[in-house]
Structure 1
């Protein structure tokens, strides 16, 4: 079963090599992510992860690099991984966070489906081996006039609702997310959040970070059983 779940965003700028120089907002985000995953590793060093993808896929036991994002920073999905592969962003960030936390391995599931499909994925993961769950999910990319997706006045309300759901472990609210609205708002985390909702309702939530410092909604949360 999933013994603990951690929700983090997946901007490549989490890596210091991709974001040189001091930036208080970025440092706060990075610190919250590292704190969350180190807590997860303290509970279990074997992880599964869920991120968004163009199609369902499972990635494990390989290594990759952030070269495509501007810095040749290698990452491994397990300590003994030697097979190189061109990895999608969720797998790269999962590998980097695994290394920051000192976990043994992370198996990455890419989710691409309607809410029912995502919930079924969460249920499958919840009934698997005893492990930790890493959820890689960004909010709307339409916060403010300089946002990547151009400003949309609905973005703050959308991410405020996500923050409340994560803080309160409100799986019903996550299940109810509208895929069409999430797409319109450039919120790539919809499918991973709904997979999290499928892992069960017996959670206690806690929010470590929630902001949109670069025009994108980022949330860091920890869910514990009970």
Structure 2
């Protein structure tokens, strides 16, 4: 059973070397992500979306070179360098910021149905790091172009995360999420399948760069 879970986005701009210079909105997002990750224990399981299912063990390491800077991260102290997808890179970077021991990364196909996401959530144990962005269609300058449905979609996600409303997360429409460029749908629904009586705290929710970002901490009530 999952005892603690943290929800964060995974934009490369979280890494200071990839986004130098002062930016209050970015600083607030980064601070919330690091603070949330610090609430987890020493060993994590991370869940993110990917074109295909994949498990990356804690013996891996990688670099953000593909995003402009050779910022190296490890999933544990003994990580061996290889090419890692973005969710794994951000998981490794957050592990280092939080001083955690290790993180195993479970990547789940972005086409996975809600029921299958929930089934995976029931199988997971320990401390969980959920990596996923909201819609990338907030406003005319958004990466995916503007879609007037984006604010309502991410508002619903924020409310569900703030209340630990697992049913609301499971009811997110996969087709709508895809149309809105919301890659977090699958990992959020994995979390929703974990079950339990949760105490939730929403640390951040905004779309400062045209993409919805949410940071939340869920802790199982004793």
1:153 Cα offset (Å) = 0.3
Q: Describe the superposition over 1:116-155 as per-residue Cα deviations: whole angstroms up to 9, x where unpaired.
A: 11111111114xxxx2100001000000000000000000
Selected match of 2:103 from 103, 106, 118? 106
1:49 counterpart residue number = 46
2:121 counterpart residue number = 122
1:70 counterpart residue number = 68
Selected match of 2:216 from 205, 210, 221? 221
Partner Cα distance (2:191, 2:82) in 1: 27
Selected match of 1:94 from 71, 80, 91? 91
Q: Tell whether the 8 Å contact from 1:171 to 1:201 is kept in structure 2 after alignment.
A: no
- Equivalent residue pairs, number: 218
1:201 Cα offset (Å) = 3.5
Q: Describe the superposition over 1:148-171 as per-residue Cα deviations: whole angstroms up to 9, x where unpaired.
A: 000000000000000000000000
1:165 counterpart residue number = 160
1:215 Cα offset (Å) = 0.1
Selected match of 1:150 from 130, 145, 148? 145
Q: Tell whether the 8 Å contact from 1:139 to 1:186 is kept in structure 2 after alignment.
A: yes
Partner Cα distance (2:201, 2:27) in 1: 20
3-state SS of the aligned residue for 1:39? Answer: coil
Root-mean-square deviation over aligned CA pairs: 0.7
1:208 counterpart residue number = 203
Q: Describe the superposition over 1:17-69 as per-residue Cα deviations: whole angstroms up to 9, x where unpaired.
A: 000100000000000001001121xxx20000000011111001100000000
Q: Gaps spanning 5+ residues in structure 2: where?
A: none
3-state SS of the aligned residue for 1:29? Answer: helix
Normalised by the length of structure 2, the TM-score is 0.97
Selected match of 1:192 from 187, 190, 193? 187
Normalised by the length of structure 1, the TM-score is 0.95
1:3 counterpart residue number = 3
Q: Runs of 4+ in structure 1 displaced over 6 angstroms?
A: none
Q: Describe the superposition over 1:53-91 as per-residue Cα deviations: whole angstroms up to 9, x where unpaired.
A: 11111001100000000000000011121x211000000
